Chains A and B, each alone.
Chain A
C-alpha cells in the first residue's frame, strides 16, 4: 500500500505526459521514478519504470503518431487511465494485471509496422534489467524480475561500461595465479 502511495504522483504525471506526447517529460519521469523506487524491489515499481521508458520511446517516433495509429494510441491511454485508478485506489494486483494489458496494447501498436525483432517493451525491460544488474542485483534476480533470458541481459550488459566502472578487488595477475593453479593441482 505504501509503495503504491509513493507511486501516485509519478503515474499521474506519466499519464499526463503521454497524453501530451511529451517525450522529454517522460524520460525525466523515467529517471525520477527509477531513482525513487530502485531499492524497493517491487514488481509494480519495475513496471512503472519500464513503461515510462517505453511510452517515451513511442512518443519519440513520429511514424507511430500518425493518424493510422490513433486508435491504438487511444487504447494505450485508456489502459493508462485504469492503471492510474488502480494505483490511486491501492489495488496492486489490479495494477499488475493492467500492466500486462498495457503490454498487449503496445504490441498491437507495433504490429501495424514491425521494424525490429524485439519489441519496445522487451527493449525497456532489457534496459531495466541491465540497470538493476549494474546497481548490484544479481543477473538471476534481474532475469526473474523482468522475465528475460539471462543471455539477453548479458548481451546488453556487455555493451555497457558497467564492468569498467567498478574497480576489481583482485588484479588480473592474481586472478591468473589462481587459474594457473587449476592446472598444476
Chain B
C-alpha cells in the first residue's frame, strides 16, 4: 500500500536546492511513499521557472519535473477551490489588528490544507512557518504577531473554530525531519564513517535553504544520534 504525504512548494524547493531530493526517491522505493502536490505547486516549482526561463531556479525545476515524471511526486488535481477559498478567508479573518483583519496566508497555502482534507491525507510536508503555526499553534502565532508589532491582536472566535476544527488534526513534518528520518533509515550509509557529519551538513543546508528549523533543534537532534 502506498503512503501519501502532501508536499508544499517550499519543501521541494529546499530539497532540490540542497541536492537532497534523492531522499524522495529513497522513501518512495524503500517505504512506498508518494509525495502528492496540487497543480499550483507544480506550476510554481516547475512550469513557471521553465516557461519564464528563471535561470537561477531552472535546475531545481528540472529535478522536480523529473521526480514527477518518475511518479515519485504525484500531481493531484482535486476540486478544492471553494474549500480553499473558505479556509483562506477564515485564516485571513482570524486575527484583527487595529480593527482590521490581518492577511496571513494566500490561496496556494490554503489549497494545500483543503487538498489534505479532501484526499484524507493526514501528513503534510511543509517548511513554511506561518501555515505550520496556524495548524499547530495558532495562539503562539498570535503572541508572535503581538510581539512583532507591539500591539494587541484580537482573535475572531468563529474563524478560529472553523479553521481549527478542520486543520488541527493534520500532522506536520518539515524537510529537516524527512532528512533525519532518512538518516535513521540508512540514507547516508555510503558516507561510512562520515555519516553523522553528512547528516549535520544536510540539516544545515536545509536550514540555509529556508526550512524553518532552529540551530537548537538541529543540535538537539544531532546530540541524540551516534
Binding site for B on A (CB under 8 A): 38-41, 117, 133-141, 143-144, 149-155, 157-159, 162-164, 166, 168-173, 175-176, 178-183, 185
Contacts and interface: CB of A to CB of B under 8 A. Distances in A.
Contacts of B62: none
Contacts of A168: 214, 217
Contacts of A170: 136
B210 A155 contact: yes
A158 B128 contact: no
A158 B131 contact: no
Contacts of B184: 180
Interface stretch (B155-163, B172-180, B187-195): B172-180
Contacts of A169: 133, 136-137, 140
Given A41-B103, A133-B130, A151-B57, A176 B209 contact: no
9 contacts: A39-B98, A39-B149, A154-B210, A158-B211, A163-B129, A164-B214, A182-B33, A182-B173, A183-B181
Interface string B111-148: 00000000000010001111101001100110011001
A90 B103 CA distance: 24
Nearest to A183: B31
Nearest to A175: B177
A140 B208 CA distance: 18
Contact of A182 (B123, B137, B149, B174): B123
A150 B9 contact: yes
A181 B184 CA distance: 13
B201 interface: no
A42 to B, nearest CB: 10
Interface size class of B (residues with CB under 8 A): 35 or more
Contacts of B78: none
Nearest to B91: A138
A185 B171 CA distance: 13
Q: Is the interface of A mostly helix, strand, loop or mixed?
A: helix
Contact of A150 (B13, B105, B215): B13
A152 B17 CA distance: 11
B165 to A, nearest CB: 19
Contact of A157 (B9, B141, B210, B221): B210
A180 B27 CA distance: 12
Nearest to A135: B148
A138 B140 contact: no
A41 B145 CA distance: 14
Contact of A163 (B104, B108, B212): B212
A30 B108 CA distance: 30
Nearest to A170: B136
